[in-house]
Structures are given as structure tokens and as C-alpha cells.
Chain A
Amino acid sequence: MTLKILLAVLLGGLTGFFQPQLSSYIDPFVTIALLFMMFFVGLEFGQDRELFSQLKKDGCTLIVYPLLIAFGSLLGAFVIGFFLPIGILESVACGSAFGWYSLSGPVLSKMVSEELGTIAFLANLLRELSTFLLVPLLGQSSKSRNGIKPLAFAPGGATTMDSTLPVVSRVAGPKTALAAFISGTILSMLVPFMLQFFASFLV
């Protein structure tokens, strides 16, 4: 699974490099494909009849996971900031986007500097890409708690709300997918706030 995903990314990258003029055909396709994916994820939620009654039992833990993921991301970015030339606070600002590259890149390049914006864009893009590759590896064997496998969606951050949700759903089942969706939604809500907060120290 990871191999196929890697192959699709590389093939896409090479096509993009040699045929960049196709982009006007590809952009609308992404929106339609994402809507279809959401439909299929919804289908999976709908067919699992015990999903919501099970969910009520561990309602509180579902809010704990996104907070843990957010804290872990910031902690990781803080620690690695000591070893990077860009600085600790800049590193934390990049990490605080939790994978939402289309927001973090433009906001940081506008508010702080072009260079930091590019790093934030790349770091979060790589996070989304590596989520695609890591989820199949982590999802199948990882520990589950009440049927949810939080390790399967932890790398995704905010992207588990839309783009990486299909992979999570495919690998770890509908229950984990619903937890991932909730976690991604909460993290996406945090991103604009976090970005503004950390960027305001840097201006």
C-alpha cells in the first residue's frame, strides 16, 4: 500500500515536472475527487450501525487525542528548533500548522518572511505526504483503545479531516476514521489561532 502511494506521488511529480501546462485540467478534478471521497467515507459511516452508540461511551477521549497531537507537534517543533538555523520560535510557528500547508505558507510569508513561509509550506506538505506513507505502516499493527487506533491518525494532524481521511478509513476502519475526522476538525479549528499567536511574537 505504501509502495503504491509512493509510486503515485513520484509519477505525479514527474508528470508535473515535464508537463506543467496540464494544471488547469487537474485543479477542478481534485475538488470533485475529494467530494467523491467524502461520499465514500460517509457511506462507510452509514453502513456501520453501531458506530454512534459505541462512540457515546468514549466521547471524552475523542477530544483528548487532538489536544495530545497538538501538544506533541509543538513539543517536537520546539525541540528540533534548538538544532536548526531558523530558530526555536520560527520552528514552533511552522509546526503549529499541523499539516495545513495551504494556509501556513501564505500566512507566514505575509506576516513574517518569505523564507519562513516557504519552510512552513514545505514542512507541512511533507507532513501530509508522509502521513499518506506512514498510516498504512502504523495503522494495521498499532495498539487500539476501545476500537480506536489513535496512532494511525496522529501523524496526520489537521489533514485527517479531509485529504488523509480516506487512507485512515481504509487502513484502520470506520471507527478510527470517525475519531480521525473529529480530531482533524478540532485541529483545523486551532490552526488559524495558533499561527497568529506564534507569528505575532515574530513580527
Chain B
Amino acid sequence: MALFILSSNLFLPVIHLILRDKQKYATLRTYIGGDEFVTFLFACLIALGLGFFCGRIFTISKTVTSRISWGILLCMIFTLGYGVGSNKTILNNLSSLGLQALAICLATIIGSLFTVKVYLKWRENHDT
């Protein structure tokens, strides 16, 4: 996460140098979220670290933590669905562009699975 915060600040000037276009650079900076996003990432990193040290110090029953995190996870997925359902722009375009989007989505997933699988197979043969 820290790496990411660094990269979002380090990579952009590099892109800026390559493209030499101030407007595009500003656009990308806005969409990455500027300061607000960095604050959020720091909060995430702190939460992760806090959890890590709590896990080192206390022994908490696995069943309890997994029950709680499963509950929160389902709530999060619910809100993801909510975001799609309440967004009119997405719903209006779903019929016309949704099929192409689905095709790209499936192609990228299958592509990723394929390369990783090929790599695993190759390593397996390489090892024996």
C-alpha cells in the first residue's frame, strides 16, 4: 500500500514527462483522487497494520473473526450491487454496451487464468 501511494505520486510525473501534456496529467491526477484517495489508502494501511499487531499480541478464535468478516463482506458486496442498481447511466447502457463489456471481462479473466496455468504447468515440468 505504501508502495502504491509512492507509485501514484512517482509514476505520474514519469507519464507527464513522456507525454508532455499538462491537461492530461491533471485529468489523471483528479481521477486517481488526489489527497482524499491518499488519505484513504493510509487509513487502509493503518487498519492492516493494527490488525497485524493485534494478531501478534492476542490469540483470537478463528471462527469468531471469520464470522464477523464474512458478515461485513456480504454487506460490502450488497453495497456494490446497490451502486450498480441505483446508477441510471449504467442501467441505460447495459443493454447496448453490456455485451461487449461482458466479452472483454471474460476474455481478460480467461487470459489471466490461462497464463498463470501455463506458468504453473511449466514450473511443474521444470521441477521434476
Which residues does A use to contact B, with CB under 8 Å?
4-5, 8-17, 19-20, 22-23, 26, 29-31, 33-47, 64-65, 68-69, 71-77, 79-80, 83-86, 91, 94-95, 98, 103, 106-107, 110-111, 115, 118-132, 134, 138, 143, 145, 150-151, 154-155, 157, 161-163, 166-167, 170, 185, 188-189, 192-193, 195-196, 200
Contact = CB atoms under 8 A, between A and B. Distances in A.
Contacts of B69: 36-37, 40-41, 166, 170
B94 A189 contact: no
A20 B86 contact: yes
Contacts of A193: 11, 14-15
A127 B28 contact: no
A31 B91 CA distance: 24
A72 B106 CA distance: 12
Nearest to B1: A185
A-B residue pairs, 3 tightest by C-beta: A46-B55, A42-B51, A76-B111
Nearest to A116: B97
B81 A69 contact: no
A166 B39 CA distance: 21
B79 A29 contact: yes
A185 B100 contact: no
B55 A145 contact: no
Interface string B2-36: 01100110011011000100001001100110000
Contact of A68 (B94, B104, B119): B119
Contact of A125 (B53, B84, B111): B84
Interface in B56-95: 56, 59-60, 62, 65-66, 68-70, 72-87, 89-91, 93-94
Interface of B: 1, 3-4, 7-8, 11-12, 14-15, 19, 24, 27-28, 31-32, 40, 43-44, 47-56, 59-60, 62, 65-66, 68-70, 72-87, 89-91, 93-94, 97-98, 100-117, 119-120, 123
A6 to B, nearest CB: 9
B115 A23 contact: no
B4 A128 contact: no
Nearest to B84: A13
A37 B55 contact: no
Contact of A84 (B15, B100, B120): B100
Contacts of B14: 193
A176 B93 CA distance: 36
